[in-house]
Amino acid sequence: MVDGKNKKNQPVSPALSEEAADGPTQHDVVRGPLGFGRETVESLVIAFTLALLFRAFEAEAFVIPTGSMAPTLMGRHKDLDCSECDFNFQAGASREEDDQSHTLRTELGRVNREIERLRRLAADSSAGLQQRDVAQQQLADLESPSGKLSVLKMRLAGKMIASATCPNCGNVMKLIEGEGPSVTYDARYPSYNGDRILVDKFAYDFREPNRWDVIVFKYPEGANTNYIKRLVGLPNELVSIAGGDIWTSRDGQPATIARKPPHVMQAMLQVVHDSNFPASLMQTEGWPSAWTDWADTSLWQSEKNRRQFTATCSAGQSASLRYQRFNPTLDDWKEVRLGMGVRKGARPALVKDFQAYNAISQGGHWVGDLAVECTLESKSESGRIVLDLVDGGQQHSCSIDLADGMATLVAASGVKASTPTPIRGKGSWEVMFTNVDDELRLFVDKKLMPTATPVAWSSEIKKESTRDPVLEVVQPGSTVPSDLAPAGITVKADDEPVAVVVSSIKVLRDIFYIGAVGFGRRGEIRDEPILEFPLEADQFFVLGDNSAASKDGRLWIDVHYVDRRLLLGRAISIVWPHMVTASRHVTVTLPILGELRLPSWPNFARMKFIR
Ligand SMILES: [Zn+2]
C-alpha cells in the first residue's frame, strides 16, 4: 500500500458491532496515496505536485481514511457550518466507506441485477407460464418490505451519518432526508475524503523520535497496515493515563506529568465556546449568556450580539466577566423552535471531552485543563487585565499591567513568575492564558511569553486520577472558584479611568486521554481511572488524538507498544485537504470521473504543518 498500488479498502480490522458509530470502528489506518474516485481531478493535481515534492524531499503521501486522529487529522468527513450559530465543525463519515459498506454495496448491486433479470423473465411472453409465476414470486419476495432489497438499503442507511452536534451551541444538525430504506443525504452536506498528508520517512534515521510526534508505523498486529498516531511513551518508561493526562516514570521513580511543548499544546486545543458565533435564536428567547457581568456593576456593555464587551471603569473600579457553559440540549432547541420559549432555571454544565467529530455522543469526562483567549483592545495608558481559570476548585490567574506590559502568572499552589509582554498602553492584542498539564502559560499574538521559571506544579498521579470538579452553582459577585464558572476576564482601574474592549472570546480545552479498556455493546467506551503501560528498550507507546474513538496502544490485543523496527516516519504536513466548492457552482457528471462540482478550489486554510 505504501507504494501506492491501487488495492482498495484494505485492511481488514477486527469485526465491530454494527451499531458502533464512527467511534470504535476507526481502523486507524493510513492508506496509500491517491484513491480513484469522485475527487479524481483533485488527485491528479496532487499527484503531479507530490511527484515534484518527492523528488526534492524523499517524502511520501498518505491518505487519512478514519477519524482516530481527529480533529488534528480528518478522515472521510462532513465539513459543517452550524445552521444556528454558523460555527464550523467536522463530523466523521468514514463508516460510509468501510469494508462493511463496500460489501453491502456490492451485495446491493447483485440484488438489483437479479431484480432486473426477474422482471425481464416475468414480462417475457415466450417463457412458460409457470416459469413467469415463479419469477413473479421471487421478485415479490426480494422487493417486499422485509425482503432482501429493503434490508440491504436499511443497513446501508445505517452507515450514513444521520446527524451532527455543534460543539459551540448544542444544535443538532440533521444530515439526512427521508426515512427507512429511501433515506438520502441532504445535498448541502457532502462527505469529503480524508486529509492527504506528507510523511518524512527519514525523520528517525538520524534522531530519536520525540514525544508528541505524529508518527506513521506498521500496525504491530497486522504487518501490512500503516497506522498513524501520536507518540506519547518512550522506551524504558512506565506510561500512565490518568485524569486525562499522560504520566511517565523511569526506574521505579514517582510518575510525573508529561507536558506538551507550547506549539503542540496550542495546536491540540479544541474550542468549547466562541463568542464570534452566537446562537441568535436562543439569545432572542432569553437563553443565559455564556459570559455574565460578574460584579453586576453594569460596567460592561455588550455589543454586536454579545460578540464584544466593553468595560469602562473609573479610578478604583473593577469590572469582571465570567464564563459559564450554558449549552442548550436537544430538548431545549426543540422547545424554542416550537415557540415554547426557553426553560426556566437552566443550569451551567462542566466542560467535558465532547468530540463533535464522533457520531456516538460520548464526552462523559470533565476536562479541567482549559484556556481562555480574547482580542484585547486597550484605550487607556494604564490599568490591569486579569485572566483566570478554575480547575478542580483551584483558581489560577494571569495579571497584565497595561502601564508597563509586565504579566504575572500565579498558580493556586502559590508558584508564580513574571514576563514582559508587548501589551502596553493603547493597542490591540490577541491574548491566550492556558492551564494545561499542570502548567500556566501566556501567549500574545500566538507567541509564548516565556517566564524565567515555568509556572508549573507537580501533583500525585493517584490524586489526579480521582480528582473531582467543584460543582457549586455560583452567582454574580461570588468569589468561590467553581468549575461551573471556570473562566474569567477582569479589568481593573487603579488611579486613572480605564476602557477596554474584549472580543473574539474563546474558551478552549486540552485533549483528554481516556483510560479506555474496551467498548460496550453500543460502542461506548469503558474506562479505568489509571492505566499503566510498561515499555522496554525500543518500545514506543502511541495514542490517537480522538481518544474516544481510537483503537491504539490502549486497546491492541497482543502488544500495547510499537517496536522501533515498525516506525515508518513522522507526519509533517497536511498537503491536500478536501476541495471547497464555490457557493454558486454547477455539478457536471462525467464518464468515469463521476460528479464534479465546479468551480472548486483547494482548502488552503487547512494546509498546515502537523504539530
Ligand atoms: Zn452551533
Cα(165) to ligand 1 centroid in Å equals 8
Residue 78 grid coordinates:
462532513
Report pLDDT for 204. Answer: 92
Cα(342) to ligand 1 centroid in Å equals 17
Is the confidence at residue 42, as pLDDT, over 70?
no
Higher pLDDT, 600 or 545: 545
Report pLDDT for 4. Answer: 34
Is the confidence at residue 517, as pLDDT, over 60?
yes
Amino acid present at 535: L
- Given a contact cutoff of 8 angstroms between Cβ atoms, the answer to whether 33 and 50 are in contact is yes
- Given a contact cutoff of 8 angstroms between Cβ atoms, the answer to whether 575 and 551 are in contact is no
Low-confidence winner among 112-116, 129-133, 363-367, 580-584 (lowest mean pLDDT): 580-584
Report pLDDT for 47. Answer: 59
Is the confidence at residue 597, as pLDDT, over 70?
no
Q: Model confidence at 77, in pLDDT bands (50, 70, 90)?
A: very high
Cα(485) to ligand 1 centroid in Å equals 21
Is the confidence at residue 142, as pLDDT, over 60?
yes
Cα(185) to ligand 1 centroid in Å equals 20
Low-confidence winner among 185-194, 488-497, 526-535 (lowest mean pLDDT): 185-194
Mean pLDDT of the region 207-236? 92
Cα(306) to ligand 1 centroid in Å equals 15
For the ranges 36-40, 65-69, 142-146, the maximum mean pLDDT occurs at 142-146
Cα(339) to ligand 1 centroid in Å equals 19
Indicate the average pLDDT of the chain.
86
Cα(369) to ligand 1 centroid in Å equals 23
Task: Give the pTM.
Answer: 0.86
Cα(270) to ligand 1 centroid in Å equals 15
Report pLDDT for 21. Answer: 34
% of residues, the chain, pLDDT over 90: 63
Q: Model confidence at 463, in pLDDT bands (50, 70, 90)?
A: confident
**Helix or strand or coil: residue 496?**
coil
Alpha-carbon distance of 565 to 312, in angstroms, equals 62
Cα(280) to ligand 1 centroid in Å equals 10
Summarize pLDDT for 364-398 with one digit per residue, the tens. Answer: 899 999 999 999 999 999 999 999 999 999 999 99
Cα(173) to ligand 1 centroid in Å equals 9
556-563 LR contacts (CB < 8 Å, sep 24+): 556/220, 556/221, 557/221, 558/220, 558/221, 559/220, 559/221, 560/533, 561/220, 561/233, 561/533, 561/535, 562/215, 562/217, 562/220, 563/220, 563/538, 563/539
Higher pLDDT, 262 or 42: 262
Cα(289) to ligand 1 centroid in Å equals 14
Q: What angle do CA 557, 6, 51 make, to 5 degrees?
A: 110
Bridge partner residues of 229 (DSSP) = 215
Report pLDDT for 193. Answer: 84
Is the confidence at residue 12, as pLDDT, over 50?
no
Cα(171) to ligand 1 centroid in Å equals 5
Is the confidence at residue 1, as pLDDT, over 50?
no
**Is the peptide bond prior to 11 cis by the omega test (within 30 degrees of 0)?**
yes
% of residues, the chain, pLDDT over 70: 84
**Could you give the dihedral angle defined by the CA atoms of residues 465, 366, 345 and 319, in that order, rounded to the nearest 10 degrees?**
100
Alpha-carbon distance of 351 to 367, in angstroms, equals 6
Cα(416) to ligand 1 centroid in Å equals 37
Cα(166) to ligand 1 centroid in Å equals 5
Is the confidence at residue 16, as pLDDT, over 50?
no
Q: Model confidence at 37, in pLDDT bands (50, 70, 90)?
A: very low
Report pLDDT for 573. Answer: 83
Cα(167) to ligand 1 centroid in Å equals 7
